Amino acid sequence: MTPPFPRKSPIADALARAGQPPVAEEASSAAPKPARRTRLWELKDKFHCPVIGTCLPMDELARLARRHSFSGDLRDEFTLHVEAVGWAGSRNPVSEDLQRHLERKYAGHVARFERVPTDAEVLTLWKEHFAHGEVAGPMWAALTHKAASDETRHAVYADVHMLSHQVGAGLAADARRLIFMERQNDALAAALERERRERAAAEAGLHRRIAEQEAELAALRDARTDAAALRERLAAFESGTAMVDMGRRLMSLAASNAQLLASAERARPLEGALKDAEDRAAALARERDDLAAERDALERLLLAGEANEAACDGQCDDCGNRIAGRCVLCVGGRTALLSQYRALAERLGIRLVHHDGGQEESLSRLPDMINGADAVLCPTDCVSHAAYYKLKQHCKRTGKPCLLFKGAGVSGFAVALARLAAGQASIVGTEPMQH
C-alpha cells in the first residue's frame, strides 16, 4: 500500500526543519483558535515524525502496517516508520486509524490537558509532564489541543527533539560503560569462580581429614570399651566364676528344652482334632444355612398354596401348587447340589429333569428336553452363554413357561420353585445373563 500521491520524505523534511523557528505568519497570535482539537493530518509535517516515533511503539505500528497492508517489510522498522509518517500527512484510512488509536491510547492525558483552556497553561502542563519523564501521552495531548499555538507546538517539538539527542548520546555512553563493566564483571566472576573452587577443594579436604580423625577416635573408644569387657571376662574365667555360671545356665536350658518337647508331643494330636472340628463346624454351618433357606422357601410355597385354595374355595383346578405332578427341566446350576435339587422337587411332587448347560451334555439334546418338560428353570449365574440363549430362544418360540433367576444354591432353587408354582414363569427373559 503506497501513499495516495508523491510526497517529500517526511524524515528528511523533519530533519531539515528541526530546530528552525516558526515563520512570521505561523507566529501570529492573532489567528483564530479552532473550535475542536487538531487531527493528526492537520498537524504540520514536521510533527508527524516525532508523533509516530514516540507515541506508537513498534509492535503497535507493525499491527497497523499488517492491517493496512503496508508495502514495506514488516521486519524493517525504519521503513514502516517512514511509510506511516507519509500516510499521516493527509486524511486517509491509515491516518484516521492512527487518530482513533492514539485517542484511545492516551485518553487519560487528553482529558487532563482538556481541563486547561489557554495556550500558556497547555505549555505549562507539558513542561510539568516532561520534567517527570512523561513524553508520549502529554506530547499527543499538547500538539492536538485546540488552544495550543504554533509556538507551543514548536516548544514541544524542540523538547522532544533535544531529548532524542540526549537519549542517543546517553545510550552510546551507557553502552560503552556497559561493555567495560561486562568485561570487568566477567574477569571478577572468573576470579571468584576460581577462588570458590579452590576453597571448595580445601573445605572438602578438611572435611575428609575431620571424618578420618573422628573415625579413628571412635575406633579407639570402641577398642578401649572392648578391652575393658575382655579384662572383666578374663578375670571371671581365671576365678572360675564364669564356668560355674555357664554350667547352671546349660542345665536350665536343657530342662526347659525337655519341657518344650513334651508339650509339643502332647499338642500334635490336639491340633489335628481342632482342625477336624473346625472343618466339621464349617460344613454343619453351610448345611444349616441351606436347610434354613430351603425351609423358608417351602414355607412361602405352602403359604402361597393355602392362600390360593382359600381364594377359590376349592372350586377350580388352578389352585394350590400349579406344578405338582408336572415335569420341570433345570438347565445349569451346581452339579454338586443336584441331589438336593431333586429332593426338594420330590417333596413338592415335581419330577425334576436336569441338563448341565453344555458342560458334559450336548446342547443338541436341549430342545427335545424342553419340549418334554412342562416348565423350565435356569439359574443365570451358573449356566453357559450358549445354553442360556438357546433355551431362551426355544422357550420364546414354543411358548414354554420359563423362569430365569439368580442364585444357584438350594435356597435360590427353592424360591424359583415357589415362583414357578405361583405362575410367575410366563415371561421369558426377566433375568439378565450374569456371566
pLDDT at 412 over 50: yes
Residue 181 counted as domain residue: no
What pLDDT, on a 0 to 100 scale, did the predictor assign at position 4? 43
User: Using 50, 70 and 90 to split pLDDT, how confident is the model at 401?
Assistant: very high
Structural contact between residues 421 and 377, judged by C-beta atoms closer than 8 angstroms: no
Residue 112 counted as domain residue: yes
Give me the mean pLDDT over the 347-366 stretch: 89
User: Using 50, 70 and 90 to split pLDDT, how confident is the model at 431?
Assistant: very low
Give me the mean pLDDT over the 17-36 stretch: 47
Distance CA 88, CA 42 (A): 9
What pLDDT, on a 0 to 100 scale, did the predictor assign at position 15? 39
Q: How far is CA 111 from CA 106, 137, 138, 140, 322, in A?
A: 9, 11, 10, 12, 99
**pTM as predicted:** 0.36
Structural contact between residues 125 and 142, judged by C-beta atoms closer than 8 angstroms: yes
What is the domain count for the chain? Answer: 2
Residue 329 counted as domain residue: yes
Residue 320 counted as domain residue: yes
* pLDDT tens sequence across 160-194: 988 888 776 555 555 566 767 888 888 999 999 99
User: Using 50, 70 and 90 to split pLDDT, how confident is the model at 311?
Assistant: low
Residue 375 counted as domain residue: yes
Q: What percent of the chain has pLDDT over 70?
A: 78
What pLDDT, on a 0 to 100 scale, did the predictor assign at position 245? 81
CATH of the domain at 308: 3.40.50.11060
Give me the mean pLDDT over the 20-29 stretch: 39
pLDDT at 304 over 80: no
Nearest to 378 by CA among 395, 365, 399, 398: 395
**Higher pLDDT, residue 145 or 271:** 145
What pLDDT, on a 0 to 100 scale, did the predictor assign at position 301? 60
* pLDDT tens sequence across 123-139: 999 999 999 989 999 99
Q: What percent of the chain has pLDDT over 90?
A: 44
What pLDDT, on a 0 to 100 scale, did the predictor assign at position 247? 79
What pLDDT, on a 0 to 100 scale, did the predictor assign at position 127? 94
Residue 427 counted as domain residue: no
* pLDDT tens sequence across 313-345: 444 444 445 666 789 999 998 988 999 989 888
Structural contact between residues 139 and 51, judged by C-beta atoms closer than 8 angstroms: yes
What pLDDT, on a 0 to 100 scale, did the predictor assign at position 272? 83
Cell for 363?
A: 446342547
Given 121, 156, 173, which residue is the final one in a domain?
A: 173
What pLDDT, on a 0 to 100 scale, did the predictor assign at position 114? 93
Residue 189 counted as domain residue: no
Given 114, 142, 173, which residue is the final one in a domain?
A: 173
pLDDT at 18 over 50: no
Classified as helix, coil or strand, 376 is strand
Give the domain range for residue 140: 10-173
Given 123, 149, 173, which residue is the final one in a domain?
A: 173
DSSP one-letter string for 197-232? HHHHHHHHHHHHHHHHHHHHHHHHHHHHHHHHHHHH
User: Using 50, 70 and 90 to split pLDDT, how confident is the model at 250?
Assistant: confident
**Looking up cell 513542561, which residue turns up?**
127
What pLDDT, on a 0 to 100 scale, did the predictor assign at position 33? 57
What pLDDT, on a 0 to 100 scale, did the predictor assign at position 176? 60
Q: Characterize the bridge pairing of strands 375-379 and 351-355.
A: unpaired
Which one-letter DSSP state was computed for residue 406?
S
Residue 375 β-bridge partners: 328
Residue 157 counted as domain residue: yes
What pLDDT, on a 0 to 100 scale, did the predictor assign at position 234? 79
User: Using 50, 70 and 90 to split pLDDT, how confident is the model at 290?
Assistant: low
- Of 173-177, 254-258, 410-414, the least confident: 173-177
